[in-house]
Homo-oligomer: A and B are copies of this chain.
Amino acid sequence: MRPSGRDLSELRPVSIETGVTKHAEGSCLIRMGDTHVLCTATIEERVPPFIKGSGLGWVTAEYGMLPRSTNTRMRREAASGKQGGRTVEIQRLIGRALRAGVDRVALGERQITIDCDVIQADGGTRCASITGGWVALRLAVNKLMKAGDVLSDPLIDPVAAVSCGIYAGQPVLDLDYLEDSDAGVDGNFILTGSGRLVEVQMSAEGSTFTRAQMDELLDLADKGVQELVALQKAATE
C-alpha cells in the first residue's frame, strides 16, 4: 500500500558512511533511501558571546540544500541573499536536538558546528540531518577524547530522529517524498537511545488529528529511532 512497497513500520534502507571528507573533525554521508545528507563536524576553541567565560561548551548546526538536490532546481540561498524561513527553522531544530544529548560541562568551553548539506532530497532531510549529525559529532568528540582534550565523554545519550505520518489513513514510519506530499498529518520525533523524548513536532497542514493518532505515531517513532541508534553505534565503533 506504500508507494515504495515498505511495511507500515519499516524504515527506508539506511547507510552511514563515515570519514567522507578529509578536513572535518568528524563526517558522514547518511543515506535514508534516496535522501542523502553530508554531515560534518567542526571543532573550534571558541564559544558564542553569550556563554563566554561560563566554562560550558556549545553545539550548533547549519543546514543547506544543494540547488539540484530536489526534483526542480531550487534557487541557491547564497545567491538570493538569505536563508529562507524553512532553512532557519531546520537548523535551529538540529542544533537544539543534538544539544539534548550533550553534557556541556564535560565538553568544555569550545564549539562544535555540525553542517548538514543535502546532496539529494526525497523527504525526511531534517531527520536524516539529526541522525547523521550525531554521528559526525560522535566522531569529532572521539578525537577530542583521544587527544585528552576532554576528560569524560560529553555525549551522554545518542540522539536520532525520524518522521511519521498518517498516509492513506494509516500511520506509517519514515515518510518519503511521495508519502509526505500526501500525508494530512505528519511529525518529526527526536528521541534518545534510552527512549526519552527530545522534541516532538506534529502538525497537520489544513487538518487536525486526535490523541489516539498521536500515540500511534509515537509508537512507530520509538521503534524507528531505536533502529537508527543501533546503526549510529555500528558506524562509529
Contacts and interface: CB of A to CB of B under 8 A. Distances in A.
A67 interface: yes
A196 B110 CA distance: 44
Interface in A25-42: 27, 34, 38, 40, 42
Contact of A209 (B24, B76, B121, B197): B197
Contact of A69 (B21, B64, B85, B102): B21
When all copies of this chain in the complex are counted, the total is 6
A83 interface: yes
Nearest to A64: B78
A206 B64 contact: no
Given A64-B78, A206-B104, A200 B197 contact: no
Contacts of A146: none
B210 A22 contact: no
Interface stretch (A8-16, A111-119, A229-237): A111-119
Nearest to A222: B211
Interface residues of A, number: 64
B208 A66 contact: no
B64 A120 contact: no
A92 interface: yes
A149 interface: no
Interface of A: 21-24, 27, 34, 38, 40, 42, 44, 62, 64, 66-71, 73, 76-79, 81-83, 85, 87-89, 91-92, 96, 99-100, 102, 104, 113, 115, 117, 119-121, 157, 187, 192, 196-211, 214, 218
7 contacts: A27-B68, A78-B78, A96-B205, A100-B207, A102-B206, A197-B209, A200-B203
